[in-house]
Amino acid sequence: MTYENSAFAALADPTRRAVFERLARGPASVGQVAEGLPVSRPAVSQHLKVLKAAGLVDDHAEGARRVYRLDPRGIGALRDWLDQHWARALDAFQTYADSLEDDLE
Amino acid sequence: MTIAPLVRTVTVKTTPARAFALFTGRMGQWWPKGKTVGAQPHVDIVIEPRPDGRWFERDADGAETLWGKVLAWEPPGRVLLAWQLNAQWTYDPDLVTELELTFAARPEGGTQVILEHRNLERLGDSAALLAEQLGNGWPGRLRDFADLADTAD
């Protein structure tokens, strides 16, 4: 199920969620993320690594530093979830509509 | 950033006019029972049959929870709805995602219903909101919807 995927698991950790929320406000380097949080740079690096592995964050080099941002593809999880939602709603509709038709036969 | 629209189709053994009427007029009966967005289970889901008509659920106490509104009302072939629930399943008047349903007769009989849900990127436009959803609201709601869907199966 979607809710059990690594994205949700990655965000179960409060510090990691704080890192994620920091990036939701805009791209940032490890140092910039660490400035606003009561955790060390190496710890922030570790959290970013997990978030990246979960597909929630990506990074690129800007000169000598590495800049992290939210990965727009993470939003694909939302799409998958809605897709399931509508698939099931339409199934329910089909079952209902066809059952009425069967009654007429 | 855009997200490709969701497209789903289903075929039902009736005419387009009847499929349209059942889909829009009896949503409260076919929609999976138990966990919609209102505080209590729905007793009805109403789409007021006119442009700008409201789309809402009503519970046993008569409390209404908005889902969206009618953007275009064109029976028997098409209805265009505004789905205004955000990813936390909360009505947001500023959010409009389009949900289009078309009903077309199939040559071999029956009706093909095509559902297209578009403008999904608007659900994620606010990255901060998305972060909140991913962090807090989502897992529980996803579980709810999985439960609901399984119950309906």
**What are the angstrom distances between the C-alpha of A53 and each of A9, A20, A37, A48?**
11, 13, 21, 9
**Cβ atoms within 10 A of the Cβ of A46, count?**
15
ipTM > 0.95 (yes/no):
no
pLDDT digits over B3-36, tens only? 678 888 999 999 999 999 999 999 999 998 755 7
Mean pLDDT of A65-88: 75
What CATH code is assigned to B6-152? 3.30.530.20
Least confident of A29-33, A42-46, B13-17, B32-36: B32-36
Q: What value does the mean pLDDT of chain A take?
A: 80
Phi/psi class of residue B85: alpha, beta or left (left: φ > 0; alpha: ψ in -120 to 50)?
beta
Q: Which residues on B lie below 8 Å from A74 (Cβ)?
A: 130, 134
Under DSSP, is residue B37 helix (H, G, I), strand (E, B) or coil?
Answer: coil
Q: Pick from A50, A90, A102, A105 the residue to mutate for testing the B interface (most B CBs within 10 Å).
A: A90
Mean pLDDT of A8-28: 77
User: Are the Cβ atoms of B13 and A3 closer than 8 angstroms?
Assistant: no
Domain limits, chain B: 6-152
- Residue A79 pLDDT: 67
Q: Residue B87 pLDDT more than 70? A: no
**Which residue among B3, B32, B124 places its CB closest to the CB of A92?**
B32
pLDDT tops 60 at residue B43: yes
Residue A13 has pLDDT above 90, yes or no: no
What local confidence, expressed as pLDDT, does residue B126 receive?
42
pLDDT value of residue B58: 95
pLDDT tens column, B48-79: 999 999 999 999 999 999 999 999 999 999 99
- Structural domains in chain A? 2-104 (1.10.10.10)
What pLDDT is attached to residue A11? 67
Peptide bond connecting A38 to the previous residue in cis, omega within 30 degrees of 0: no
At B100, give phi and psi (nearest 5°).
-110, 130
Among residues 7-36 of chain A, which lie with CB inside 8 Å of chain B? 7-8, 11, 17, 20-21, 24-25
> What pLDDT is attached to residue B139?
40
Q: Do B13 and A76 touch (CB under 8 A)?
A: no
CB B60 within 8 A of CB B40: yes
